[in-house]
Amino acid sequence: MSTEAQITAWLASQHQAMIDLLRETVDIDSGSYNKAGIDAVGAAIERWLAGQGIPTERLAQAKHGDCIRAMVGAEPAAASPTNAPTNIVLMGHRDTVFPDGEVAQRPFTIKDGIAYGPGVADMKAGLVMNAFVLAAFAKFGGAPAPLVGLFTGDEEIGSPEGRPVIEAEARRARVVFNSEPGRVSGNVVTGRKGGVFSFFRITGKAAHSGGNFIEGISAIEELARKIQAIHALTDLERGITLNVGLVSGGQSVNTVAPWAEGQIDLRYVHPEDRDEIMGKIEAIIARSFVPGTKAELTIKGEFLPLNQTPVAKRLFELYVQSAAETGFKTDGEFTGGCADSGFTAAVGAPTICAVGPVGGKAHSPDEFLRIDSLVPRAQAMARAILKLEAAGL
């Protein structure tokens, strides 16, 4: 029996075990700001990997989830003569967008072959798949280079702590597989927009809006004007979008608002557009539409765009071929959604994204996962890893 046959047969026998680990990890609240929950998901994965004899190390993070690094195969000496990138990286994030208590309301369930629950597709199924692919290679060997499983903890808010860990890993990577959910079409992602999440706070002046109206300076009026100016920067033809998705402010209905704040999501396609649009946003924040107001802008999180390089294209073609050998069709897609794959691509690691099990409606209560995609997506990834060398990657 060839290694490929052994690995794919073993993965095929693990369907129920994959669902068991998926249930365990989905049923832990792990919103991006719930460090304890994200680390509990990490502990579940560490326990499972330890049971397969796979060592892990924890890179502790102060505010968000720790980064967990699992190794299969010896890591080459750090000071190799060439320092050429060597590792094959399987990447995924353990945080979700859901608040605490979400699991109690809608725990992991399966109905008619579809699994539901917070983060079931985005991306606990991808974490489970990565863990099983690591285990398969730990059992049967055959990987052309050391495998690294990287399980991070703050992707949904732009990886403020995870980013340097991801970038360091990507610099040592010959290829990166990011197991975000496969599209409903079965497609993977070969291009993503970049994104900048920022926060601005406006200060005005409080005054009784009945008795002392003219002394007040309304931060909320300023907020409204700034939102219109920011939204007007949207340019759909260039792939630039702006969304002020969160606002708050004011003190009481009968007080001229002394403060207001908002959060901006900028998305763009071309790397050179980033600074131009951020400059325009900064100018809008600096300008006082309502005289006497002041405002400050802070960048809270950022993703770089994923653009396909010639080497990444070869990785994509290898994956398409591996999927065909597994029995499913897949193609490449562009999406406005951001992910950690933008960071790995930006430091030069050939990257393919959304190779995880297939699901949809991410970030909503209708999020779902096709459980019949768990095994095939794992098999396709394993096949691609086995053939990296032959594909010149």
Question: Where do contacts with Zn ion occur on this chain (CB under 5 A)?
Answer: 122-123, 180
> Measured from the CB of residue 72, what is the shortest distance to Zn ion in angstroms?
23
In angstroms, the first-to-last Cα distance of the chain is: 25
State the amino acid at position 193 in one-letter form.
K
Nearest CA to 311 out of 354, 353, 355, 352 is that of 352
> Measured from the CB of residue 339, what is the shortest distance to Zn ion in angstroms?
6
Is the CB of 143 or the CB of 354 nearer to Zn ion? 354
Is the CB of 126 or the CB of 249 nearer to Zn ion? 126
State the amino acid at position 322 in one-letter form.
S
- Sign of the Cα pseudo-torsion (165, 170, 173, 178, in order): positive
Is the CB of 146 or the CB of 359 nearer to Zn ion? 359
Is the CB of 183 or the CB of 383 nearer to Zn ion? 183
Is the CB of 121 or the CB of 384 nearer to Zn ion? 121
> Measured from the CB of residue 156, what is the shortest distance to Zn ion in angstroms?
7
Distance of alpha carbon 118 from the chain centroid? 15
Q: Which residue is nearest to Zn ion (CB)?
A: 122
Contact 341, 170 (CB under 8 A): no
Is the CB of 93 or the CB of 201 nearer to Zn ion? 93
> Measured from the CB of residue 367, what is the shortest distance to Zn ion in angstroms?
11
Alpha carbons 87 and 346: distance in angstroms, whole number: 17
> Measured from the CB of residue 260, what is the shortest distance to Zn ion in angstroms?
31
Give all strands (DSSP E) within the chain, no chain letters: 56-59, 67-72, 87-93, 109-111, 114-116, 147-152, 173-178, 181-182, 188-192, 194-203, 207-208, 241-249, 255-256, 259-268, 294-303, 332-335, 351-353, 356-360, 368-370
> Measured from the CB of residue 249, what is the shortest distance to Zn ion in angstroms?
30
